[in-house]
């Protein structure tokens, strides 16, 4: 049996990137290395690229499940398989396959199998179907309880024949796919405590974008617990996106001005425009090229087509809305899958619910909104909020 636990990591879409392929692969290997650093126990874990795959080798002191769990969370990973290796020689591969299947019989009571072989090394003199047949025959001799079932085998045993070393595995654990973090700039996400914005941030990060966040509160109208909830959501996100900065901004001074000077039904849209302006300034200061929100067409009054246009007009930086056309049920499914849902539904107030108008305008007109904003010191209020922002570092749990 192998001295180490070996894992084959497949790179998914990264493999399609043509000229940039080596760059994406290098970034992915680096992200996997960084992720595994977190669980290192003093004994080394090796991460190496080879022929379009990434190989992870860890001492036996590591639980294979832990390595699989950590690596499958890295964006850019299509799938990962715990594997064993053998010298590229049919007898050696056969011995390893027998040992592999004996373990599966012991641990899982496997009764049927089928071998699938792939010959990455085209110089190897035996063709793939023949390799599968030979290894299958050796397994049948070495494991008397097993039968071949070509249609519904308990175990599909893969044999990947490469130049010097070949690999044997059965399970493929899916990753999320996407692209390695840091291959697609940086975005500033407006992170509320709701269901949507954590999913929006996750989706952009999955496309390789580094994330930074801004959260708005209306303390003391919103509680400290509400902020803790957002920090908790941010920590869950950091489990995928790595450590990131979150800026915390008190919107109350701005909300009070709006309530005093502007029509009540415009409160929501006016507050949203301030949020965007503040986020834009923070993005500029911190090297983020775009904003990200969890907005979704038609979900609430502030997310009608007309309201989104008026919101957008408050900034010149591009605004990404990855959830714009998704159904709420699909967003909720995603939130459950990535682990943010249970925290998101905890019932704490958001700054948007403070001073909520009874009948918000659903089809705001930009000219009218600009007129209302003339009664406010927009630039000064924005700058003051940016100046007073508190910045914290978010680490994964």
- CB closest to Mg ion, residue no: 194
| Least distance (Å) between residue 279 CB and ligand ATP | 8
CA–CA separation, 250 vs 240, rounded Å? 27
Question: Which residue stretch of 68-76, 95-103, 295-303, 349-357 sits at the interface with Mg ion (rule: CB under 5 A)?
Answer: 349-357
Residue closer to ligand ATP (CB basis): 101 or 205: 205
Those residues with Cβ within 8 angstroms of residue 228's Cβ, 6 or more apart along the chain or in another chain: none
Nearer to Mg ion, 79 or 344 (CB): 344
Q: Measured between alpha carbons, how far is 111 from 113 in angstroms, rounded to an integer?
A: 7
Task: Confirm or reject binding of residue 295 to ligand ATP (CB under 6 A).
Answer: yes
Decide: is 293 part of the binding site for ligand ATP (CB under 6 A): yes
CB of 192 to Mg ion, least distance (A): 4
Shortest Cβ 228–ligand ATP spacing (Å): 14
With CB atoms as reference, the residue minimizing the distance to ligand ATP is 194
343 binds, among ligand ATP, Mg ion, none (CB under 5 to 8 A by kind): none
Residue 194 interacts with Mg ion (CB under 5 A)? yes
Q: How far apart are CA 98 and CA 113, in angstroms?
A: 12
Total residues at interface with ligand ATP (CB under 6 A): 20
Q: How far is the CB of 292 from ligand ATP (least distance, A)?
A: 7
Least distance in Å: CB of 300 to ligand ATP? Answer: 5
Q: Is 192 in the site for Mg ion (CB under 5 A)?
A: yes
Subset of residues 159 to 218 that bind ligand ATP, contact rule: CB under 6 A: 190-192, 194-197, 215-216
Question: From start to end of the chain, where are the E strands?
Answer: 4-10, 45-50, 53-59, 79-87, 112-119, 147-148, 155-161, 165-169, 173-174, 186-190, 210-217, 244-250, 290-292, 319-320, 390-394
Separation between Cα atoms, residue 313 and residue 335, nearest integer Å: 29
**Closest distance to ligand ATP from the beta carbon of 152 (Å):** 43
Binding mask 145-164 toward Mg ion (x if CB under 5 A, else -) reads --------------------
Q: Return the number of the residue (82 or 294) whose C-beta is nearest ligand ATP.
A: 294
Q: Which does 190 bind (CB under 5 to 8 A by kind): ligand ATP, Mg ion, none?
A: ligand ATP
**Tokens matching residue 223:** 């509680």
The CA-atom distances, in angstroms, between 315 and each of 100, 193, 272, 305 are: 59, 23, 11, 17
User: CA dihedral in degrees (15, 17, 22, 28; nearest 10)?
Assistant: -60
Q: How far is the CB of 394 from ligand ATP (least distance, A)?
A: 14
In the complex with ligand ATP, the residue whose CB is nearer, 119 or 281, is 281
Neighbours of 38 (CB within 10 A): 10
Q: State whether residue 375 is helix, strand or coil.
A: coil
The stretch among 51-59, 248-256, 272-280, 347-355 that binds Mg ion (CB under 5 A) is: 347-355
Q: Find the helix packing angle between 224-241 and 196-206, rounded to 10°.
A: 20
Dihedral sign for Cα atoms in the order 216, 219, 223, 224: positive
Structure tokens at 366: 């930009």
Give CA–CA dist 263/21, Å, rounded.
55
Q: Which of 312, 306, 316, 220 is nearest to 272 (CA)?
A: 312
Q: For the CB of residue 347, give the shortest distance to ligand ATP in the complex, in Å.
A: 13
Which residue from 196, 202, 163 is spatially nearest to 330, judged by alpha carbons?
A: 196
**Which is closer to ligand ATP, CB of 94 or CB of 187?**
187
Find the shortest distance in angstroms from Cβ 89 to ligand ATP: 57
CA distance 341 to 345: 6
- In the region spanning residues 350 to 379, those forming contacts with ligand ATP, defined by CB under 6 A, are 350-352
For ligand ATP, the binding residues (CB under 6 A) are 190-192, 194-197, 215-216, 275, 293-295, 299-300, 302-303, 350-352
């Amino acid at each position: 049996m192998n001295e180490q636990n070996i894992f084959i990591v497949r790179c998914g879409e990264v493999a399609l990137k043509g000229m940039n392929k080596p760059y994406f692969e290098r970034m992915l290997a680096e992200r996997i290395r960084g992720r595994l650093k977190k669980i290192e126990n003093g004994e080394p874990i090796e991460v190496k690229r080879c022929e379009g795959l990434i190989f992870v080798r860890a001492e036996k002191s590591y639980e294979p499940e832990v390595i699989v769990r950590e690596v499958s969370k890295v964006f850019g990973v299509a799938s990962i398989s715990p594997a064993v290796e053998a010298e590229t020689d049919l007898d050696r591969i056969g011995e390893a396959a027998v040992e592999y299947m004996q373990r599966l019989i012991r641990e899982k009571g496997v009764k049927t199998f089928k071998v699938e072989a792939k010959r990455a090394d085209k110089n190897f003199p035996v063709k793939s179907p023949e390799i599968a047949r030979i290894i299958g025959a050796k397994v049948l001799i070495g494991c008397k309880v097993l039968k071949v079932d070509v249609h519904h085998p308990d175990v599909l045993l893969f044999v990947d024949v490469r130049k010097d070393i070949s690999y044997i595995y059965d399970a493929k654990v899916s990753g999320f796919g996407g692209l390695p973090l840091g291959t697609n700039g940086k975005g500033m996400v407006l992170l509320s405590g709701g269901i949507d914005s954590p999913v929006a941030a996750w989706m952009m990060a999955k496309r390789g974008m580094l994330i930074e966040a801004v959260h708005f509160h209306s303390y003391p109208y919103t509680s400290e617990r509400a902020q803790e909830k957002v920090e908790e959501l941010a920590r869950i996100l950091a489990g995928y996106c790595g450590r990131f900065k979150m800026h915390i901004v008190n919107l109350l001074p701005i909300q009070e001005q709006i309530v005093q000077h502007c029509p009540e039904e415009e409160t929501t849209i006016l507050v949203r425009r301030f949020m965007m302006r503040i986020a834009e300034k923070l993005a500029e200061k911190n090297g983020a090229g775009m904003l990200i929100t969890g907005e979704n067409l038609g979900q609430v009054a502030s997310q009608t087509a007309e309201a989104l246009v008026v919101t957008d007009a408050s900034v010149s930086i591009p605004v990404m809305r990855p959830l714009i056309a998704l159904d709420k049920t699909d967003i909720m499914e995603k939130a459950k899958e990535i682990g943010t849902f249970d925290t998101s539904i905890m019932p704490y107030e958001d700054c948007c619910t403070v001073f909520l108008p009874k009948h918000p305008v659903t089809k705001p007109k930009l000219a009218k909104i600009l007129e209302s904003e003339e009664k406010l010191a927009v630039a000064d209020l924005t700058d003051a909020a940016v100046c007073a922002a508190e910045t914290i570092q978010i680490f994964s749990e």
